[in-house]
Structure formats: C-alpha cells, structure tokens
Amino acid sequence: MKLILIFSALFGASLCLETFIGHQVLRIKTRNEEEVKQLQLLESLEHLELDFWINPSTAALPVDVRIPANNVQAVKAFLESHGIEYSILIEDLQVVLDKEKEDMAYGQQRERSSNSFNYGVYHTLDDLYAQLDHLASEYSNIVSKLQIGQSYEKRPLYVLKFSTGGSNRPAIWLDAGIHSREWVTQASAIWIAKKIASDYGNDPSVTSLLNKMDIFLLTVSNPDGYVFTHTTNRMWRKTRSKNPGSVCVGVDPNRNWDAGFGGPGASSSPCSDSYRGPSANSEVEVRSVVNFIKNHGNIRAFLTLHSYSQLLMYPYGYKCTQPADYAELDALGRAAASSIRSLYGTTFTVGSICTTIYQASGGSIDWSYDYGIKYSFAFELRDTGNYGFVLPASQIIPTAEETWLGLKKIMEHVRDNPY
C-alpha cells in the first residue's frame, strides 16, 4: 500500500510540478568584500537562473544558492577561477523534494486512517484551513476565526483570534508564511495555535496572558504562493499577482511594506525574487494586514515567522541606525533566544536586521515599529543550511516547540510592560 501511495504521489506531482533534477545548493564562503562583489555580479546574470537562498551581503555571512543543473559546472568554474571557497549543501534537490512528497503522502494516509490532524507533517492550504475551523470549534470558548481579506487569487486570509472577552483589549499580532516556500513557518504556526488554545487554563503564563490580552494569528500570510509551492513550483517565494508589462509574476511581500519602500535590498525588476512591487502596499495580502492593524488600534507586538538561518531580529532593515528602543529590544531578543536554546540547544543570533543580515527595505517589522508597535520582531527558524527551505517534516514539531518558547518569552514581557 505504501508503495502505491508513494508512486501516486510522485506521479501526480510529475504532471505539473516543476522538477529540480540535478539542481544543487552550494554554500559559498567569502573572505572579503571583493569576493562578495564577485557574487553580486553572479547574482545579476539573469541567464544563469540562480536562486539565492541567502543573498551575498557581507564577507562574514555565508551565501547559499540553488543552481539549475545545466549551470552548475559554469558557476563552480567561476568560483574556482576567483579562488572562492564553496561546498555542496544539497547534491540533488529533486531527491530531497521526492522524499518530502513521499512523507506528505504517507502522512495524509495515516491522517485519513486515524481521522486526526498530524502536526508533524506538511499540509496543503485546504488541510490547514480545515484545521483552523477544527480549532475554532474545539476551543470555541477562546478561539474564533476571522477573515481579514482575500488574496490576489481570491483566497480568504484567515486569522485566529484568541480572546477571553472584552472589547479592544491590547493585542499581539503573529504571522507566518509571508514567503510561501518557508513551509516550516506555516506548519509551526498551526502547532502554536493548538498550543495556545490547549494551554489556556492549564499553563499559568498563557492563562494570565489571555486574561489580559488577545492574540491574532495569521497562519498563512501568502496563500496563493503557498498553493503554488504545492501544485507547481516548490521554490516559489512571492505573491502571484500579475505585473503589467512583464511576463514575470509576483511581488516579494516582505519588500512591499511602507517602510523605506524602494530602498536598498529590494529589487525594481519584476523577475527578481525580491521585487518590491509597483508601490508600497500594492499587494492585497500586505494591505489587508496593514488595514487590520490600523483598524484594531491597540496592537502592542508584531511578530513574524520566516525561515531559515536561526535568527531573531528587530528593526531596522531599511536603515542601519538603531531603533529608539534598541536596549530593551536587544535584551528581550536575547532572553527569547535563551528560552529557545533551553529546549534542544538550538542557537539563534540576535540583532537588528541591518546588522545581522543585510539592509532590506519594505519589511513588515520596520513598518510595524515605525507605526508605533514597539515590540516588533522577526524570527528566522531552523535550520542553518543543511536543508534550508526543505526542512524535513521530522523537524516541524521540535522547531515549533522551541519557537513557541521564544514567542512566549516575548509575549510575557509585552503583558508585563504595557506602554
């Protein structure tokens, strides 16, 4: 039976799913600014069709890049001719994706036979949305489902509201999956939803938190992109909006916020994976969140989940100056990273976006911070590059568990330090 399942999963996948046979992911270690510039030159050569998982920025940080099979040798030759060091992270991406597909098919089969949701496997959008309904009915005393808008392709944007009542209470915003290929974020978010709901009344910290504040959780910020990663291209990052005058589709929704929009670290080319869009908030997925937060009027923390690299970052990304609350945010980030590390020893690097990775404009936590939401943090979850965006499903629950400890540390601080 398992073989039939696997075969049907792979065969079904082969009908319209883009394949990555022979694609390699390299980790490149630069030693100086000159080598970084060489990689930036490589990045600008569109005919190579390179997909940078971690962009070239400074010599201190590694660069991860997916290379199509027919360009692997050319890129390696380029690196070798410039004496730039590299290693192979993923020998053949399709082998990893086939295993991922097989695990999903097997997980779905087990779910059907046990009639229960398995938090330790990756799910389609429909399955995630069905589970939101299930949580809202199972924990109806504190969980309700709101629709805050629709995606470009008219899919609903669903938020779970965790609340013990009262009107316009101070609240915490949490979202995941703004970059659609970062599957461990949507998977962690649904586990965290269940955790918050089931801990209320059992965990004193969560109970006191929800007795004072509400939590809003958007598990899939970019549903069109997420569906596309399941049906067509597992490596898709952007939205699916059409760009007038270009054959290239989509905008990087985390370069589309009204915070230094159009500045460094965002592209003006619609074919780029970091295309900022024609204007700030052009993407309805971004606009819906902005409108919700503005209309709510009492959001006290803005937390967003990305992958990968194991980072915990605060503003700014669009500029390299420290935020006014630098000392408090840095100390809180370090406390949260310590909580994360306490479970499985997973280490997170803490700092501002600009100093930790690179200058990047139009990001969500810069907008939220400038809007007056002091506790604005972005998490980059597991791992540090062994699997990158294709983290095995066996790591979903450990990732979610440790992430929750970091989130909870921040939420407790927000609860105890009203402003």
Catalytic residues: 380
Report the distance separating Cα 404 and Cα 372, nearest Å.
24
Among 360, 323, 381, 415, which residue's Cα sits nearest to residue 189? 381
Q: What is the DSSP letter of 242?
A: B
Spell out the long-range contacts of 367-373 with Cβ–Cβ below 8 A and sequence spacing 24 or more: 367/257, 367/258, 367/259, 367/290, 368/173, 368/293, 368/299, 368/302, 369/302, 369/314, 369/315, 369/316, 369/323, 370/259, 370/315, 371/293, 371/294, 373/173, 373/293, 373/299, 373/300, 373/301, 373/302
Q: Which amino acid is at 2?
A: K
Report the distance separating Cα 160 and Cα 248, nearest Å.
33
What is the residue-wise DSSP string for 271-336? TSTTB--SSTT-SHHHHHHHHHHHHH--EEEEEEEEESS-EEEES-SSS-SPPTTHHHHHHHHHHH
Helices (H), 115-182: 125-138
R_g of the chain, CA atoms, integer Å:
21
